[in-house]
Amino acid sequence: MTGGAVIDKILRHSGVSAHELAIRLGVAEGQVAAWIHGDPPLSVVDSVARACSADLARVLAEPEPDPHDIGLLETTLAMTVDQRLERLKAYVRFVQAGRAALRNAQ
């Protein structure tokens, strides 16, 4: 994760806009945009966290949701209960076939 991505995450979680951050830090709004789209040093990221009253260690420790996982969740939630059950049964058959193939290969 780049420093810019961390700054973006801090801003999203704190509700502070790039404009407000620029005012708080006494820099141009363009500088904040450059940080967000770039990879500023940790000292800048730390200054941003402090200006937004954010705990940098906590921000860094929060896992980011995987877009693939979100897509799978959305697909699953769109399915009916019966469709989910059939999908689970197919998965179980797949695992059982894999185990059987491994036993036969030995």
Torsion of CA 86, 89, 90, 94, to 10 degrees: 170
Q: What per-residue confidence (pLDDT) applies to 65?
A: 82
pLDDT averages per 10-residue partition of the chain, 106 residues? 94 96 97 97 97 96 88 94 96 96 91
Backbone conformation region of residue 86, classed left if phi is above 0, alpha if psi is from -120 to 50, else beta: alpha
Domain ranges across the chain: 3-61, 67-105
Structure confidence at residue 63 (pLDDT): 87
> Would you state the pLDDT for residue 64?
81
Question: What pLDDT, on the 0 to 100 scale, is given for residue 66?
Answer: 86
Task: Report the CATH superfamily, name and number, of domain 3-61.
Answer: lambda repressor-like DNA-binding domains (1.10.260.40)
pTM for the full model?
0.64
